[in-house]
Amino acid sequence: MADPIAIVHEDDSCIVVYKPAGLLVHRTRLDAGENDALVQRLREQLGYFVYPVHRLDKPTAGLTLLAKSPDAAATYSMAFRDGLVEKHYLAIVRGWVQGVGVVDYPLLPEVIGRTRRKPVVHQDAVSHFSALEHFELPVPVGRYQSARFSLIDLRPLTGRRHQLRRHMAHLRHPIIGDTRHGDGVQNRHFEDRWGVRRLMLVAVSLGLPEAGNRPKLDLKVEPDPHFCEILAGIRSGMPNLD
């Protein structure tokens, strides 16, 4: 039996939980063989219906907001669409990310499992990044004599599919464990050395201003124990170069 979903916040209109890595938010045709999903688990755990407001990718862990009624879902969805929600993520990426910056790089819509019939139109996509820590492993990985990694803060200003993953790949700093947009050599190294079989991306902060019947939210969490264990292993096995 699966472990209960960790509840971070609950009020009359919504519930915010910590979604585990590898769990769908809701069932989808794009992953038709997967029946396990956050919405179904929560409905069984809580004994009432909840309604997804936004979506974290299946491999991404972290804070996820669900509404308690269709009206509340519409209100929260509008806040996400209007850019009123501030989200922060932690990620471990390949290479040394320097300082603070903005990725303003339009993305093509990702279409999986069916033929694209509409004209291709790039969508605006903007993400902020900030380097937090640098690490180096003194062993060769791929064509390099040492392996460099960064722990970074990411903040998406738009909500495109796989936006953070695609933006970091565009910067040539793909997120570790990203099997679609990442670096297979680095992913295999992490799996061999640290036992990592997950995307090293976690939503750790969710902020939303009060408006009408919608309460203010200012939530922050530590990453899940597995993410923290991997990060601790990296810190102990690699000298911190800051």
Mean pLDDT (whole number) for 199-203: 97
More confident site: 163 or 233 = 163
Mean pLDDT (whole number) for 128-137: 94
200 assigned to some structural domain: yes
Model pLDDT, residue 68: 95
pLDDT over 70 (residue 29) = no
198 assigned to some structural domain: yes
14 assigned to some structural domain: yes
Helix/strand/coil percentages in the chain, nearest 5: 25, 30, 45
Under the banding of pLDDT at 50, 70 and 90, the label for residue 242 is very low
Under the banding of pLDDT at 50, 70 and 90, the label for residue 184 is confident
Under the banding of pLDDT at 50, 70 and 90, the label for residue 56 is very high
196 assigned to some structural domain: yes
Tell me the whole-structure pTM to 2 decimals.
0.90
Model pLDDT, residue 240: 43
52 assigned to some structural domain: yes
Amino acid at 80: F
In the chain, the percentage of residues whose pLDDT exceeds 70 is 90
* 8 A C-beta contact, residue 153 and residue 130: yes
If you write DSSP's letter for every residue of 174-222 in order, what string do you get? PBTT-TTTS-HHHHHHHHHHH---S--EEEEEEEE--BTTBPPEEEE-P
Range with the lowest mean pLDDT among 25-29, 112-116, 156-160? Answer: 112-116
How many folded domains does the chain comprise? Answer: 1
| Rounded Cα gap, residues 174 and 162, in angstroms | 12
The CATH number that applies at residue 138 is 3.30.2350.10
Q: What stretch of H or E contains 16?
A: strand 14-19
Mean pLDDT (whole number) for 141-151: 82
DSSP state of 13: S
Backbone angles phi, psi at 67, to 5 degrees: -95, 160
* 8 A C-beta contact, residue 93 and residue 176: yes
33 assigned to some structural domain: yes
Phi-psi region of 158 (alpha: psi -120 to 50; beta: other; left: phi over 0): beta
Model pLDDT, residue 84: 92
Model pLDDT, residue 118: 63
Residue positions annotated with a catalytic role: 57
Average pLDDT, the chain: 88
Collapse the DSSP code of 141 into the 3-class scheme (helix H, G, I; strand E, B; otherwise coil) and give the result: strand
242 assigned to some structural domain: no
1 assigned to some structural domain: no
Name beta bridge partners: 175: 93
Instruction: Give the range of the structural domain holding residue 93, as residue numbers without chain letter.
Output: 6-237
The CA distances from residue 196 to 176, 193, 227, in Å, are 9, 8, 9
Contacts for 182 with CB less than 8 Å, ≥ 6 apart: 94, 165, 169, 174, 175, 176
Angle between helices 184-194 and 225-237 (to 10 degrees): 90
Model pLDDT, residue 34: 60
pLDDT over 50 (residue 241) = no
Model pLDDT, residue 189: 81
Residue among 73, 161, 100 nearest 125 (CA): 161
Residue among 215, 216, 198 nearest 207 (CA): 216
| Rounded Cα gap, residues 213 and 203, in angstroms | 25
Under the banding of pLDDT at 50, 70 and 90, the label for residue 101 is very high
